[in-house]
Structure 1
Amino acid sequence: MCLRNWRTRKTDSENRPAAVFIVQGSSVRVPLGLFNLEQSSKAVVVDGNITTLDDLKKLTIPVTPGAGSAQGQSGTAGATGQGAGGAGAAAGAGAGNAAASVQGGQAGVPAGIPTVKLSDIADIKVVGSAESVSRTNGKASIGLQIVKDNDANTVDVVNAVKDKAKDLEGQFKGMELTVLLDQGKPIEDSVSTMLDKAVFGALFAVIIILIFLRNIRSTIISILSIPLSLLIALLILWRLDITLNMMTLGAMTVAIGRVVDDSIVVIENIYRRLTSSGEKLRGRELIREATREMFVPIMSSTIVTIAVFLPLAFVTGMVGELFMPFALTMVFALLASLLVAITLVPMLAHSLFKKGIKSSKQHDHDKPGRMARGYQRILNWALSHKLITFGSAVILLVASFFLTPLIGTSFLPDQEDKYIMVTYSPEPGAQLETVEKRALEAEKYILSQPNIDKMQYSVGGSGNPLAGGSSSNSGLFYVEYNKDTKDFENVKKNLVEGLKKQVSTGEWSLMDMSGGMGGSSLSVSVYGNSLDDIKPVSEQILKLVQADKDNFEKAKTSLTKAYDQYTIVADQQKLSSMGLTAGQIAMKLSPVRERPVLTEVTVDNKDYKVYIETDNKEYKSINDIANETVQSPLGMNVPIKDVAKVEKGTSPDTITRNDGKMVVDVTANIVTSNVGKASSDLQKEIDKIDLPDGVEVKFGGTTQQINDTFTQLGLAMAAAIAIVYFVLVVTFGGGLAPFAILFSLPFTIIGGLVGLWIGGETLNVSALMGALMLIGIVVTNAIVLIDRVIHKEREGLSTREALLEAGATRLRPILMTALATIGALLPLVSGLENSAGIISRGLGITVIGGLVSSTLLTLVIVPVVYEFLMKFRKPKVED
């Protein structure tokens, strides 16, 4: 509701404040507290009793300059007090206004003072007051943001909203609904991509098993463990109310190669004994004994692999939350695979091999094959030349670390979405109408660009939480491009640069849409006790960042927006002589910038805010403000320059405090993939700055995320290794054999780093998760080998003989499990267009590379270390 079209004399502009303060002062309801009346405490309340539209129209306003000034003076004092005191001063402000009105009626205003009804001097109308403007694809629109509950399924909510939207379009003629940001679609795309990769991974694993076993029935038995294990895992997830999402599906994709391992080991042992001419057992007894023989190694292997994920429970932050569903899914799938391997596999083997193996395949395993004999020769040489063998492996390990600077580090894999958000921050005080005109120019420019699918912008309101900026009239532009858009990075940059040329007033910036999910940003915070101390330091850091154009772009500080500031310094002596206050100067100037709400009234059971429609007056220079006049109680128009002086200075757009200290942030986008190196190089340059006393510099942004996450995952790996060692000690009943098994772990680094370097991937969180998984996978192969060695030693073979025999016997299952895991992960690193999110190429490459190097070296290094350590074993006392 608006007061407009004032019908007064030439003193219109001077009498209008009187009406403003009368409305404000008359509509109050002020509790004055308890008074001791009539021998008891009574509550007293001052009620202006202006609640309806009729009350407002009948309100009388004094029209003499003196009365207006008196009212204005009293009201001003109250208003100033309210502004200074905040919400707590509201009652006091109202009381001041009410008291002033009473005094004016009794002493300050003569009887019979001319008055006029408010409805006689102003039109009181309900007007539209759009606080924001939204347009979509060049048409006026209303933007709706729908946020799901925390426990709701994103895809289900999105699909339900789309169905309702179709119904609405049918109900309202001419209405068009456009979906701008659909978070369900990328999830559906990722799920579809992950399922495709899972299917291809399973096919690769089947082919590898078939090549090694060369038996259809054995292959069928092995591969049945894949769907059964995953199905059991799905049932457990369902019972625990864990949704099927990118992380759980990613875990199943990665688990495909691992869940088949236990079944491979069991069926290979059964098949080997069935085809051995020296085997004495037959039928059910043979299968039971072959399964029992492998139970300890596969159980300990599964427990070890599960134990690797336990420390993830202590990883905090986003990474811990993201990877917990991944870890739980892996654990459930591995437990299910163990169950299948010791129950279903022997049962199917007994059913399918009732008639045994054809005679042509007998004696296949009486003697080692050609590959096994070649491996025995290599192993025998390595055992005889331990120093050369181990030294060569260590040299390869050390050499691989030199690849680290070439690989670089980052936080999460980059995900290139074909949409951007651009923010527009106008100069402080810019009116909504002005910003809207600029937004229309920007809209026209954006829609003229190629490959634009959708475009929407919103301007004004209470300040868009996404847009930020110094003005509530900031603008947020959403632009979605065609999926086939090439060189998207340059497209984004060119659009922003074009907008800066099209609308040069204000500031355009590209919003960082990473949210920690793949984007890289620099944030350096300078802390200090005063702005004078931290501003020079922040400017030095800004220059360092701007100079490093190979690594950073769009560098700025939180003080970048520094505006010229004019301070009107009141001369209290002159003001007092005129009967004025500094608050009256502020009130005189403030209506130009704001539209204050006077009161609220009720019309037809609807509440309306009442405000005054001010002249759209703009000052062209500071002289215009200095020449503005303020009316004194005597009716004189006093120029502001006569009672105050103007001082010029600068003012930062925002000043931030943290823990009681002032903070200036230096931010930039990191354009290099090697985030770690860029940050460390900048850190070295910042360390050279001579910081004043009390000034401190801290890194934030992606750098802080990398440091925190890498530290936590590093500790998780150390804890995982300790847990693995404990499990192995319990399994083998001693500490030397487990210690030899752990020597397979360091050499995973060789293949992992080489793989990342060849694949062009950085060392990120995804790669570190792959390294964590490798701890369990690699140890599994070593367990299968050493378990056989220990059994043969107990049968009377020497350590060397046991190592050679176990190596030849366990070579095939070790290679089969390793290659099956690699084959299952190959689709993950194939570089399919649809991103798999965090479960990305980095994880797959790390596991594949580490598995290749560790498997080859496990077959050599672990036996070498084992034979060396057995020299320190205490001989058992014979009974």
Structure 2
Amino acid sequence: LNTMTLAGLIIALGAVVDDAIIDVENILRRLREHRAGGGERPTASIILEASLEVRSPIVYATMIIVAAAVPVFLLPGLTASFFRPLAITYTLAILASMVVALTVTPALTYLLLHKASLKRARSPLVGWLQRGYSRWLARIVARPRWAYATFAIVAVLGVGVAPQLGQSLFPAFQQRDILIHWDAIPGTSDAEIQRVTLALSTQLRAIPGVTNFGAHIGRARQGEEVVGINAAEIWLRIDQKADYDTTIGRIRDVINSYPGLYRDVQTYLNERIEEVLTGSREPIVVRVYGQDLTVMRGKANQIRDLVAGVSGVVDPHVDLSVDTPQIQVRVNLDRAARYGLKPGDVRRAAATIIAGEEVGDVFRDGKVYGVMVWSVPSARTSVSSIGDLLVDTPSGQKVPIRDVADITMSANPNAVTREGGSRYLDVTANVSGRDLASVVQEIQGKVAGVQYPRGYHAEVLGEYQERQNVQNRLLLTAVIAAVAIFLLLQASFNSWRLATFAFLTLPMALVGGALAIYAASGTVSIGALVGFFTVFGIAARNGILLINHCQHLERDEGEPFGPALVIRGARERLSPILMTSLATGLALVPLVILGPRPGHEIDYPLAIVILGGLGTSTLLTLLVVPPLYLRFARPVRSGHSHPGGLAEDATQQLGAPVQ
């Protein structure tokens, strides 16, 4: 179990409760009606018939919820790793609930009720709610313009709020373990980077709330992340009682007081996510492509200045690709030929003397040690000392390298990165205090205005690009899921007209989620999008069960089509609908109260959206759907065959008369 699987179980709780309520409530109603009529049919027959009456609505409602969850199953890449466990848990719980409702619940009802007295007073609260609801609904049905006005207001609210919402792939993670990258200019000495890091350590440890400090400088050559001696990583831990945002702000103030160094402040999880998505450590990446590094640096610096002027951008910088002094040994072919030397002979000898060469292994105490041939350090400290090094000739003579090659110092880039056959240089930045989507969109506008020489261009990458890919996949799969839901509605209602009406009301249920996330953070992350899909499924489930119940009352119980029909149908569905919403809502309240704490940053927006969506979807189902059903539905033909007779024959010998 993890937080995502637990979230899936919590979200499914409402549907699980509803499945049980629907079945048991219908069985009890049928048993009481049969007893009041003085019938002698076996209890098992009545229970089976009552269960079969709600079988079709339960199956269709479950299939609609599963269809709404399909887009989450098809999420690509890293996002799928976060949300697929939730979708799997949620779907399996819903399917298991359906199976239990259709098989175990009727059997348990028979075992517990076939000899029990059914004389039980209705809950005063339920009776009070049903009476009050019936009065309100009667007024709304009599004046349906109020329902239409409510529908229009909800639609306008949704249209007004949607453009105001920001976008982000993941919410801001508030881990208490902080990672700081601390890189000086290539060529900075070991002593200097140690001095600066120790000074930084003293200042950071003095910040209230910082409990632990650790750092390493450089990296082993065979390590996973090969860096120079100029690079350091610093680890901090923030106390659980400290204010997170205040402490992070103080940490940023300290590290920003060191000019000339690249630095950033991230959580471990954020860094891992960004490196998987783009290979960079920041959510914003502007990649400049070209061939000449001088031209690329000029354009990268220009873009960095533009990016720095965007509100919400912090730590903008260009990759530390600078020219570093390097020794070049260029073979003079004429002079080398006089000694019988080939260019390759000179280069290999120079490489062995200057950089060293592994020539074998030594086994000692069960361990393997490499054997290197290398010159003494004093022989490679300057151009003149390197020129004095001797090279063997085919004749056995030894000649200084300077006699057969030109040795110079030249500036070369410390690193060259390529993608698609082209060199590139990254301009990266972090975001703080503003949603990622609006920041990136502003950056895209600024980058588009930069003039580039032929063969050079820039692309805006990073987390936002991944979010766009995820969103495009979600939109595609959502269209497929929407078509499937519409067809399931038509199959359940046996009416294209009703299916269209029910389907068009579903988006209105999402407005509550949009309003809730707007009030909470104003940013729609992937967790919030998953919440919208969940609300869509819950609203579709409530709608299909209400409309199916009205059709059942008209078709099988002889209730004439009209206001009395929808009032009775909605009144009888009031308790299950409220129980579904309350069970789900109460289970989500702790997640909302806790807020975006470490470990719950993804669950929090999901819970906010579902909680807000439950409010509007419940009101929509109870107050808007009934009058709209009366407006768009047509009378159902009565006298349809029903499996009750077969159920009675099949259970004659299983039951006992109702007590």
Q: TM-score, normalised by structure 2?
A: 0.80
Please say if residues 767 and 843 of structure 1, whose CA atoms lie closer than 8 Å, have aligned partners that are also in contact: yes
Do structure 1's residue 310 and structure 2's residue 70 form an aligned pair? yes
- C-alpha displacement of 1:478: 3.7
Do structure 1's residue 455 and structure 2's residue 214 form an aligned pair? yes
Which residue matches 1:525?
287
Alpha-carbon distance between aligned partners in 1 of 2:92 and 2:321, rounded to the nearest angstrom: 52
- C-alpha displacement of 1:271: 5.3
Gaps spanning 5+ residues in structure 2: where? Answer: 641-659
Check 1:836–1:735 CA distance in 2 against 1; reply closer, same or farther (3 A cut): farther
Please say if residues 545 and 552 of structure 1, whose CA atoms lie closer than 8 Å, have aligned partners that are also in contact: yes
- C-alpha displacement of 1:825: 1.4
Do structure 1's residue 667 and structure 2's residue 425 form an aligned pair? no
Which residue matches 2:582?
819
Which residue matches 2:190?
435
Q: Which of 246, 252, 263 does residue 493 from structure 1 map onto? A: 252
Do structure 1's residue 697 and structure 2's residue 458 form an aligned pair? yes
Which residue matches 1:373?
135
- C-alpha displacement of 1:667: 1.5
- C-alpha displacement of 1:573: 5.0
Alpha-carbon distance between aligned partners in 1 of 2:496 and 2:336, rounded to the nearest angstrom: 90
Letter in 2 for 1:354: A
Please say if residues 828 and 844 of structure 1, whose CA atoms lie closer than 8 Å, have aligned partners that are also in contact: yes
Letter in 1 for 2:214: M
Q: Relative contact order (alpha carbons < 8 A, sep ≥ 6): 1 or 2 greater?
A: 2
Pairwise mapping of residues 274-285 of structure 1 onto structure 2 (< 5 A)? 280=37, 284=43
Which residue matches 2:491?
730
Do structure 1's residue 540 and structure 2's residue 298 form an aligned pair? no
Please say if residues 304 and 727 of structure 1, whose CA atoms lie closer than 8 Å, have aligned partners that are also in contact: yes
Pairwise mapping of residues 204-243 of structure 1 onto structure 2 (< 5 A)? none
Check 1:583–1:378 CA distance in 2 against 1; reply closer, same or farther (3 A cut): same
Do structure 1's residue 802 and structure 2's residue 565 form an aligned pair? yes
Which residue matches 2:653?
none
What is the DSSP-based 3-state SS (H/G/I as helix, E as strand, rest coil) of the residue aligned with 2:511?
A: helix
* Superposed CA offset, 1:244-299 (max 9, x none): 33322221122223311112233344555677799537793665554443332222
Do structure 1's residue 414 and structure 2's residue 414 form an aligned pair? no
* Superposed CA offset, 1:4-52 (max 9, x none): xxxxxxxxxxxxxxxxxxxxxxxxxxxxxxxxxxxxxxxxxxxxxxxxx
Alpha-carbon distance between aligned partners in 2 of 1:438 and 1:555, rounded to the nearest angstrom: 22
- C-alpha displacement of 1:726: 1.8
Alpha-carbon distance between aligned partners in 1 of 2:522 and 2:313, rounded to the nearest angstrom: 20
Do structure 1's residue 298 and structure 2's residue 58 form an aligned pair? yes
Do structure 1's residue 446 and structure 2's residue 207 form an aligned pair? no
- C-alpha displacement of 1:771: 0.8
Letter in 2 for 1:318: L
Please say if residues 276 and 365 of structure 1, whose CA atoms lie closer than 8 Å, have aligned partners that are also in contact: no
Alpha-carbon distance between aligned partners in 1 of 2:451 and 2:138, rounded to the nearest angstrom: 64
Q: Which of 731, 753, 756 does residue 514 from structure 2 map onto? A: 753
What is the DSSP-based 3-state SS (H/G/I as helix, E as strand, rest coil) of the residue aligned with 1:516?
A: helix
Letter in 1 for 2:159: F
Please say if residues 785 and 810 of structure 1, whose CA atoms lie closer than 8 Å, have aligned partners that are also in contact: yes
What is the DSSP-based 3-state SS (H/G/I as helix, E as strand, rest coil) of the residue aligned with 1:830?
A: helix
Q: Which of 63, 86, 95 does residue 326 from structure 1 map onto? A: 86
Letter in 2 for 1:370: G
Alpha-carbon distance between aligned partners in 2 of 1:604 and 1:266, rounded to the nearest angstrom: 74
Check 1:511–1:858 CA distance in 2 against 1; reply closer, same or farther (3 A cut): closer
- C-alpha displacement of 1:689: 2.4
Please say if residues 461 and 473 of structure 1, whose CA atoms lie closer than 8 Å, have aligned partners that are also in contact: no
Alpha-carbon distance between aligned partners in 1 of 2:616 and 2:129, rounded to the nearest angstrom: 28
Letter in 1 for 2:135: R
- C-alpha displacement of 1:390: 3.3
Q: Which of 440, 446, 453 does residue 685 from structure 1 map onto? A: 446
- C-alpha displacement of 1:786: 0.7
Please say if residues 164 and 522 of structure 2, whose CA atoms lie closer than 8 Å, have aligned partners that are also in contact: no
Alpha-carbon distance between aligned partners in 2 of 1:341 and 1:313, rounded to the nearest angstrom: 25
Gaps spanning 5+ residues in structure 1: where? Answer: 1-243
Letter in 2 for 1:769: V
Q: Which of 7, 10, 22 does residue 265 from structure 1 map onto? A: 22
What is the DSSP-based 3-state SS (H/G/I as helix, E as strand, rest coil) of the residue aligned with 1:417?
A: coil
The size of the alignment, in residue pairs, is 616
Which residue matches 1:655?
416
Letter in 1 for 2:211: I
What is the DSSP-based 3-state SS (H/G/I as helix, E as strand, rest coil) of the residue aligned with 2:523?
A: coil
Which residue matches 2:609?
846
Please say if residues 174 and 267 of structure 2, whose CA atoms lie closer than 8 Å, have aligned partners that are also in contact: no
- C-alpha displacement of 1:840: 1.1
Alpha-carbon distance between aligned partners in 2 of 1:531 and 1:496, rounded to the nearest angstrom: 29
Q: Which of 502, 516, 535 does residue 774 from structure 1 map onto? A: 535
- C-alpha displacement of 1:764: 0.6
Please say if residues 275 and 365 of structure 1, whose CA atoms lie closer than 8 Å, have aligned partners that are also in contact: no
Check 1:869–1:494 CA distance in 2 against 1; reply closer, same or farther (3 A cut): same
* Superposed CA offset, 1:671-710 (max 9, x none): 2341111111111222222344444433322111110111
* Superposed CA offset, 1:149-186 (max 9, x none): xxxxxxxxxxxxxxxxxxxxxxxxxxxxxxxxxxxxxx
Alpha-carbon distance between aligned partners in 1 of 2:129 and 2:201, rounded to the nearest angstrom: 75
Pairwise mapping of residues 390-401 of structure 1 onto structure 2 (< 5 A)? 390=148, 393-401=151-159
Please say if residues 270 and 287 of structure 1, whose CA atoms lie closer than 8 Å, have aligned partners that are also in contact: yes
- C-alpha displacement of 1:428: 5.3
Alpha-carbon distance between aligned partners in 2 of 1:866 and 1:509, rounded to the nearest angstrom: 58
Percent sequence identity is 23
- C-alpha displacement of 1:414: 2.4
Please say if residues 412 and 764 of structure 1, whose CA atoms lie closer than 8 Å, have aligned partners that are also in contact: yes
What is the DSSP-based 3-state SS (H/G/I as helix, E as strand, rest coil) of the residue aligned with 2:506?
A: coil
> Please, which moves more after superposition, 743-752 or 347-356?
347-356
Alpha-carbon distance between aligned partners in 2 of 1:444 and 1:837, rounded to the nearest angstrom: 35
- C-alpha displacement of 1:462: 1.5
Letter in 2 for 1:723: A
Alpha-carbon distance between aligned partners in 2 of 1:826 and 1:766, rounded to the nearest angstrom: 16
Larger Rg: 1
Which residue matches 2:649?
none
Do structure 1's residue 338 and structure 2's residue 98 form an aligned pair? yes
Which residue matches 1:155?
none
What is the DSSP-based 3-state SS (H/G/I as helix, E as strand, rest coil) of the residue aligned with 1:525?
A: strand
* Superposed CA offset, 1:391-440 (max 9, x none): 5523432333333454311111222222233445566577xxx6378448
- C-alpha displacement of 1:753: 1.1
Alpha-carbon distance between aligned partners in 2 of 1:869 and 1:581, rounded to the nearest angstrom: 93
Do structure 1's residue 611 and structure 2's residue 372 form an aligned pair? yes
Please say if residues 770 and 847 of structure 1, whose CA atoms lie closer than 8 Å, have aligned partners that are also in contact: yes
Alpha-carbon distance between aligned partners in 1 of 2:155 and 2:458, rounded to the nearest angstrom: 36
- C-alpha displacement of 1:343: 4.3
Alpha-carbon distance between aligned partners in 1 of 2:215 and 2:453, rounded to the nearest angstrom: 47
Alpha-carbon distance between aligned partners in 2 of 1:275 and 1:857, rounded to the nearest angstrom: 31
Please say if residues 551 and 636 of structure 2, whose CA atoms lie closer than 8 Å, have aligned partners that are also in contact: no
Check 1:269–1:532 CA distance in 2 against 1; reply closer, same or farther (3 A cut): same
Alpha-carbon distance between aligned partners in 2 of 1:736 and 1:772, rounded to the nearest angstrom: 24
What is the DSSP-based 3-state SS (H/G/I as helix, E as strand, rest coil) of the residue aligned with 2:157?
A: helix
What is the DSSP-based 3-state SS (H/G/I as helix, E as strand, rest coil) of the residue aligned with 2:612?
A: helix
- C-alpha displacement of 1:587: 6.9
Letter in 2 for 1:788: H
Letter in 2 for 1:455: G
* Superposed CA offset, 1:358-416 (max 9, x none): 46879x9799612222122123311xx3xx74355234323333334543111112222
